[in-house]
Amino acid sequence: MTERDEDYYGDQCARCGSSADAVWCDNCDRDGMSHHDCGEDVCCCLYPEDNVPCDWCDGRGWFGVCLSTPEFCEANPLPGRENVKRGTTEPVYVKRGVG
């Protein structure tokens, strides 16, 4: 394993580049799974565990949130990011020793 020469700084909106945050998903209780489906019409599992990815958060357990207004984000995409959906986030790294 090689060590990165960058440090994780935080997340940004992948559409407009503004700061971003995460909000926990209320549908799946933060684990990314919404319910149990064993494929049977009548479940006879002794200890059914949730095994279906949440369709609200796509199985992540959280939503990405752009901290800019919706109007700013939609009107000011980064070059080449016009088709990126608002709320899509990406990590930001900074070089070590800078500053």
| Residue that wins the pLDDT comparison between 8 and 27 | 27
pLDDT at position 70 over 90:
yes
Strands (E), 1-99: 6-13, 20-24, 33-35, 52-53, 62-66, 89-95
Q: What percent of the chain has pLDDT over 90?
A: 31
Cα torsion angle, 92, 96, 98, 99, sign: positive
Helix (H, G, I), strand (E, B) or coil at 13: strand
Distance set, CA 81 to CA 10, 18, 77, 90 (Å) = 19, 13, 6, 12
Q: What is the pLDDT of residues 81-97, one digit of tens each?
A: 999 999 899 988 877 66
The overall pTM is greater than 0.75: no
Residue labelled with tokens 């752009």: 66
pLDDT, the chain, mean? 85
CB 56 within 8 A of CB 31: no
Give me the residue spans of the domains in the chain: 6-95
CA atoms within 13 A on the CB side of 5: 3
